[in-house]
Amino acid sequence: MNSHLHPAFAGMTTHPTILAHCRPGFEAECAADLARIATRAGVRIDSTLVPGAAFVASATHGLDRARWDLALSRMPPWFARSIFVGDGPHGLSERDRITPLLALAETHEPPFATLWLETPDSNEGKARSGLCRRLAAPLEAAAKEAALMVSAEPRGLRLHALFTDSTTVFVGTSRAATGSPWPMGIARLSMPRDAPSRSTLKLAEALLTFLTDEERARLVKPGMRAIDLGAAPGGWTWQLAHRGLRVTAIDNGPLKGEIADDPLVEHLRVDGLTWRPRRAVEWMVCDIVLQPSRIAALVAAWVADGHCRRTIFNLKLPMRKRYAEVERCAAIIGETLEKRRLRHVLRLKQLYHDREEITGYISLE
């Protein structure tokens, strides 16, 4: 075993293991995600988490892959960006990594539609991204030659190889129906030149994460009306106006850049916590910095009172008991809407562009 691997992982076996990527520092919350899903799937897991590692490895007992995938589809994780089932850690030779990787791939029910070489999203992991890029093309060519990859693979099975250091790897698979659409669960987005703040990337990623291509085309159309609570300096307003929506930006602070003069934008300098529209809108978005439970109550009330049909919002998390706080917020939203007998969808996810926060989406069915 490579000496650079953290000792906490050294005792793991090659029995089925669940691997999950997460934001560095949120390993405990990621492990709580896996425990919640495992309980529903009837699986017992023992998680190994190292602070700052940016991934969690959970040894499984009694894993039924079909039941696990069903539980994952019905209970998407909040903090785990990407999850796959595999085994490891496996040691590789610096002289030849491709041959043993192909041998490991053979044990994971090929063929595969996609091959993802990954690292943890940590400073140490980023240092190995060049290795993954160098290996990707020759490994894919060798996999195709060995008939391990088929572009029309009907299961949409992805092969993951997670390099924890240059010669140590976890290998496994995820399915397109339940796994992240991006390697490591990271949506790679470019910062728009005209956007007034990087917060615009949060809303862009949220729309990619919570809505399918068909839903975005149908539900985020030019001419729709939207409200942005806590709009300044205008990153979320820019994202909506850029898509052709007519936006009412609510904030006592100023909008910056070209968005301040955009004809699709009306800026009202009023209190975002108390202001309400005269008529309902399709969307309300909210990035107000406030206690998460108060934001949960606010957005739930907007939907329950008929002011909007859909909302995307951020919950700024406390330093401790973050998972419990998210559970509390989910309960507040659920109870508020269920009292009105409103059928709804609630999704929560810590996005790549989030920091000490989690993003939510509510939609009436």
**Cα–Cα distance for residue pair 351/292, rounded to 1 Å:** 16
Q: List helix spans (H) across 292-343.
A: 292-304, 322-339
Matching residue, tokens 């940590």: 122
**Among 59, 49, 103, which residue's Cα sits nearest to residue 80?**
49
Report the relative pairing of strands 55-61 and 44-49 from DSSP bridges: antiparallel
**Among 172, 171, 112, which residue's Cα sits nearest to residue 142?**
112
**Among 238, 247, 232, 242, which residue's Cα sits nearest to residue 287?**
232
The set of residues, in sequence order, having a beta carbon less than 8 Å from that of 135 and lying 6+ positions away, is 97, 98, 101, 117
Which of 126, 316, 321, 339 is catalytic? The answer is 316
Longest CA pairwise span in the chain (Å): 68
Sign of CA dihedral 275, 276, 278, 280: positive
Active site residue 221: no
To the nearest 10°, the Cα dihedral for 173, 177, 180, 181?
A: 110
Active site residues: 316
